Amino acid sequence: MIPFAATLVLVLSFMLAAAADARGEQSAQVFLSVEEKGILLVDLNQARKDPAAVVWSWQAAHSPQIPAEDRSLFNGYDESKPVLDGSALLVCSSWNGAVALVNRADKKCLFYAKCSGAHSAELIGKNLLAAALSNRAGELRLYRLNDPARPMLDAQPVWSMPFPWGHGVVHDPGRDRLFALNNNELLVLRVTDGPEPAAEVLSRHKLPNPGGHDLLRYDQRHLSVTVGRGAYLFDCDSQTFSPLPGLADQSDLKSVNRHPVTGQVMFTQATKGKVHANKLQWTDGTELPLPYEMLYKARWNVAER
């Protein structure tokens, strides 16, 4: 008979191994925004053997809910965020301009809107969607997701404010704040829902360097912010910036994403002289070349809660 202590060790070892396997599986998949291909989900373990291997993909043509005449709005895919516990994906395109919410299981488009320069989007609860538009006449917009008077296909904004060169938007439900990034500032806003949704600017924070580009949750307290040269952490409590370790002196960072379980920090960086990347990189020095010339952003296949 196996002693109790030995049995307990075996059980704990099995549980730890199972947890490690789960973490490994969770950390192995990444969504790529590839402007010439669409949104690609790749398994990193497969991609290291076959860089062209794809687990799942989406283009506007895969969703019949998007009229044929509007599908070209999505040319130039530049953002994909897993949402709703991973069952759906937020997609943005800034070339012609559109944002969509796509059901992953059947690729059904649940929402789309024409947004010239759409560079980033975020769900606010289950009723609202925020979008940042990245052109000179850019805006920060709110869309309602459940208003029968405003169709969710070719939807119209219910609120907007001028926001030139808007590039990023993140909602923090715990703090009840919306963060929005443009070329020179990070704005902190409070969104109010109801018959007439709106957002109030509570504070404005000048970026350490100009060229605000990517904004994403880094951990429970910080946001990652990339600028023309460098990357920073924004402390949501003290509302201060500090250099992001390993990326503070890097230029042309298109996306930064820290895995919430493993802590791995993945990023995409434009090839010298271009605006796109052709490989994934990690702050530990690891690289994964990919067969795409127009890779833009990469996001872990983990939905934020």
84-102 pLDDT, tens per residue? 999 999 999 998 899 999 9
Beta bridge partners of residue 121, listed in sequence order? 131
Predicted confidence at residue 241, as pLDDT, reads 98
Strands 109-114 and 139-144: unpaired
Residue with tokens 């995409």: 268
Predicted confidence at residue 163, as pLDDT, reads 97
Cite the beta strand spans of 104-138 per DSSP E: 109-114, 118-124, 128-133
Q: What domains are there in the chain, each with its CATH number?
A: 65-262 (2.130.10.10)
CA–CA gap between residue 264 and residue 283 (Å, rounded)? 8
Predicted confidence at residue 56, as pLDDT, reads 97
Q: By the 8 A CB rule, do 274 and 264 touch?
A: no
222-268 pLDDT, tens per residue? 999 999 999 999 999 999 999 999 999 999 999 999 999 999 999 99
Predicted confidence at residue 14, as pLDDT, reads 35
| Spans of the chain, pLDDT less than 70 | 1-27, 304-305
Predicted confidence at residue 214, as pLDDT, reads 98
